[in-house]
Chain A
Amino acid sequence: MSQSTSSYISAPRPGETSWIWLVKIVTGPLLILVLILHMIVNHFVGSLPTGLMTYADIVRYYQNPIIPAIEILFLITVVTHSLIGLRGIILDMNPSRKVLSAVTWFFSLLGVFSVVYGIWLALTIASKGG
């Protein structure tokens, strides 16, 4: 092969992308499970006629420690899945390495921030009861 093909072949950091894909494909079904739980709980057992919960319902509900645990698991799963997916869409727009790096950083920070915020919120609600 006389011609260099390097301009046609990407130069990935070896192995990085496999893991990201694996995380995406694991969070998918996990999300389905936790989502079903979340929807049943949040839309079928509340005291409002629509099934939604009032503030008082929610606080009471969060007294059981399994609830904030599930909700936090849900949050981590959905944020991870969604941000990896968004990054994938942006990848398909063929950004430069610099832009991609900035996007990855931004999403990572956004993800961490969202999870930290969610954990704080869950614990705050749980502490309002009792």
Chain B
Amino acid sequence: MDNTRNQPSAGKFWSWFIPIGRQTGGWAFALNRVTAIGLTFYLFLHLAALSLLAQGPGSYDNFLALTENPIIKFGEWAVVAAVFLHGLNGIRIILTSFGVGVTRQKQLFYGFMIVAVLIILIFTARMY
């Protein structure tokens, strides 16, 4: 039978990031993936920027002036948010991977996300 529709295909990986119609766990998975990619991008950017430290005080402190730029400030905030969303969801994954709370994974997700939002709010207040 010649039927290539409705079958698994590598191209469907975009469906991870658009969890329409999925349930709590599916949204958690998408959130974790998106924050993971964002944080990885930030990581290597950060490592590259730090090379300025080796060039001496002038270069680095000039670079620090950039951090006053509102776009950069927003980026920093986004990194903090991503860290807590990814980290707390990650704790949930560790717990369930070891069989703890598997039957309550939805509640775990909501609980951890509420904690994440609270922490992010605290950081936002502190940063601005």
* Nearest A residue to B10, CB-CB: A94
Q: How far is it, in angstroms, between the C-alpha of A121 and the C-alpha of B47 when the chains are bound?
A: 10
Is B78 an interface residue when CB atoms closer than 8 A count as contact? Answer: no
A25, A48, A55, A78, most chain B CB atoms within 10 A:
A55
Q: Is the CB of A29 within 8 A of B40?
A: no
Q: Is the CB of B53 within 8 A of A92?
A: no
Q: Which of B20-28, B83-91, B103-111 contacts A (4 or more CB under 8 A)?
A: B83-91
A-B contact count (CB 8 A): 66
Q: Is the CB of A89 within 8 A of B37?
A: yes
Q: Is the interface of A mostly helix, strand, loop or mixed?
A: helix
Is A101 an interface residue when CB atoms closer than 8 A count as contact? Answer: no
Q: Is the CB of A55 within 8 A of B13?
A: no
Q: Is the CB of B61 within 8 A of A55?
A: yes
Tell me which residues across on chain B come within 8 A of A86, comparing CB atoms.
Answer: 36-37, 40
Q: Which residue numbers of A lie inside 8 Å of B, CB to CB?
A: 25, 28-29, 31-32, 35, 48, 50, 52, 54-56, 58, 75, 78-79, 82-83, 85-86, 89, 92-95, 114, 117-118, 121, 124-125
Given contact pairs A28-B91, A28-B93, A55-B60, enumerate 13 new A-B contacts (beta carbons under 8 Å). A32-B87, A35-B87, A55-B56, A56-B57, A82-B43, A89-B33, A92-B13, A93-B10, A94-B10, A114-B44, A117-B51, A124-B53, A124-B54
